Structure 1
Amino acid sequence: MAPKTYIVEHLDEELGPWSELEYLAIATESHEAGAKFLLSSLPSAFKVPDALNAVPSFVAENRGVEELYAAGKSRVCLLDPSASKDLAPEDGDNFDVFLFGGILGDDPPRDRTSELRKKGFEGRRLGPKQMTTDTAVRVTRLVVEGKTPLLEIPYVDDPDLQFNEHESTSMPFRYVKDKDGKPIMPKGMVDLIGKDADKAIDDLF
């Protein structure tokens, strides 16, 4: 099986603390799996964090996916909530590149996934529940590289994070469970959310 590439299109000129932790988790896990993680369509003023640049298989790219894969569109799978088919293990044989079109930081938000769908990238769903970006990449890797069907991946939905006796918050996302039944989250994420418990989650991106 050819090495896989996971791409997130990030059109914002800045990178919030939440997204930075997610991207670092994606880059690290992808590198450990022998895959590449690429951020595409980066504005020229975008500054890549040092920790992300230090991951050997991470690539920062100013060009968009349409330009990068103009001659190889059929090998690119768009993870699309509106797709008619769910991602399946055999998609690992059909696609080399997995594209995540959710754009962070746009206000009002642009439906980048629909734009990419119109460009002709074939789509697959990851199920009905919203996932964080790192979870979406993790689930995709488990399916196409680990050959685990979507419905057999252990999930936890809307977990509560307890910071102390009086403070907790509910996370409105689906996560992959670890061996102890807890949601897998990027290193440092729980601390970040705890420090900013009074902020809306959207403000942390």
Structure 2
Amino acid sequence: MANPNPTSGKTFVVEHLDPELEAWSSLEYYTIASECHATGAKFLLSSVPASLKLPANLQHAAGLMVETRGMEEIYADQKDKVCLLDPAASEDLCPDDGGLFDIFLFGGILGDDPPRDRTSELRKKGYQGRRLGPLQMTTDTAVRVTRMVVQDKIAVDKVPYIDHPELKISKNESTQMPFRYVQGKDGQPIMPEGMVDLIKKDSEKGLGDLL
């Protein structure tokens, strides 16, 4: 396993709380790894079952570290440097938090509709918490926003967002996404490459089954 110790950049950790890894998650994880690598940050996927075979796009993804160990073991001596992104936290993440924390933890907490409080498992461990505003985000969006706040020093309420965008599925059908996204330079919501095609492919199952 790779050494997860943070260097000069921040470390963003997703504690993988599911026994499997769905196609949409692999697209999100690949995007997180790519964006972290491009900005000098690290992306660690922790608590990955040893029996879980990573899909091809993640096996050699630049910027991705994979660990079977959980957060408590990996960062046992750095607990005060870990920030848990928690929708139930009492205060929002701010640029100054980049000076307080080196590790930003996401516990499979985002991307569920309706949201499930899976963060509670990590909240009980006593990590300091911050939230990213009132609306649900996909996991890659949450990491993107966190990175923009703590590395680029953009206030969380100054990030350009698109809320609940409508995706055209076919000529006569569209689907409204129940999440908040970052707005890209083209004015469109930033999503992992291939995500829209996956949503279209699985649209007959209903969005609830996909997510």
TM-score normalised by L of structure 1:
0.93
Q: What's 2:3 paired with?
A: none
Is the aligned partner of 1:89 residue 2:88? Answer: no
Report the AA paired with residue 136 of structure 2.
Q
Q: Distance in 2 between matches of 1:12 and 1:113?
A: 13
Q: Provide the residue aligned with 1:75 in structure 2.
A: 81
**Counterpart selection for 2:59 from 32, 53, 57:** 53
**Structure 2: how far apart are the matches of 1:105 and 1:34?**
25
1:194 aligns with 2:211: no
> How many angstroms apart in 2 are the aligned matches of 1:13 and 1:47?
11
Distance in 1, Cα, partners of 2:165 & 2:172: 17
Match of 2:45, SS?
A: strand
- Consecutive unaligned residues of structure 2, counting only runs of 5 or more, are 1-6
- Judged with a 3 Å threshold, the aligned counterparts in structure 2 of structure 1 residues 79 and 174 are, in CA distance, closer, same or farther, namely same
Q: Secondary structure of the equivalent of 2:84? A: strand
Q: How far apart, in 2, do the equivalents of 1:110 and 1:135 lie?
A: 17
Q: 1:144–1:24: structure 2 CA closer, same or farther, 3 Å change rule?
A: same
Q: What SS class does the counterpart of residue 105 from structure 2 fall into?
A: strand
SS in structure 2 at match of 1:198:
helix
Question: Cα deviations across residues 82-135 of structure 1 (Å, max 9, x unaligned)?
Answer: 1111000011111111000126899xx974312212211100000000000000
Displacement, 1:164?
A: 2.8
Say whether the 8 Å CA contact 2:17–2:107 is kept in structure 1. Answer: no
Deviation at 1:163, TM superposition (A): 2.8
Any conservation in 2 of the 1:9–1:103 contact (CA below 8 Å)? no
Correspondence for 1:66 among 72, 96, 112: 72
SS at match of 1:169: strand
- Preserved CA contact (<8 Å) 1:155 1:175: yes
Q: Deviations over 1:137-173 (max 9, x none)?
A: 0000000011000111000101000133202100000
Deviations 1:34-82 (A, max 9, x none): 1111111111211112221212321111100011111110000000011
In 1: Cα distance, 2:107 partner to 2:51 partner: 21
Please give the TM-score of this superposition, normalised by the length of structure 2: 0.90
The separation in 2 between residues aligned to 1:12 and 1:45, in whole angstroms, is: 12
CA change 1:110–1:20 in 2 (3 A) is same
**Whose RCO is larger (CA < 8 A, sep 6+)?**
1
Of the structure 1 ranges 109-118 and 65-74, higher mean CA displacement relative to structure 2 is found in: 109-118
Q: Segments of 4+ in structure 1 off by > 4 A?
A: 103-106
| 2:24 pairs with 1:15 | no
SS at match of 1:26: helix
Distance 1:103 1:179, change over 3 A: closer
Q: Number of aligned residue pairs: give it.
A: 203
How many angstroms apart in 2 are the aligned matches of 1:152 and 1:104? 20
Cα pair 2:110 2:142 within 8 Å, conserved: no
Quick one: percent identity of the two aligned structures? 63
Q: Does 1:170 align with 2:166?
A: no
Structure 1 gaps, min length 5: none
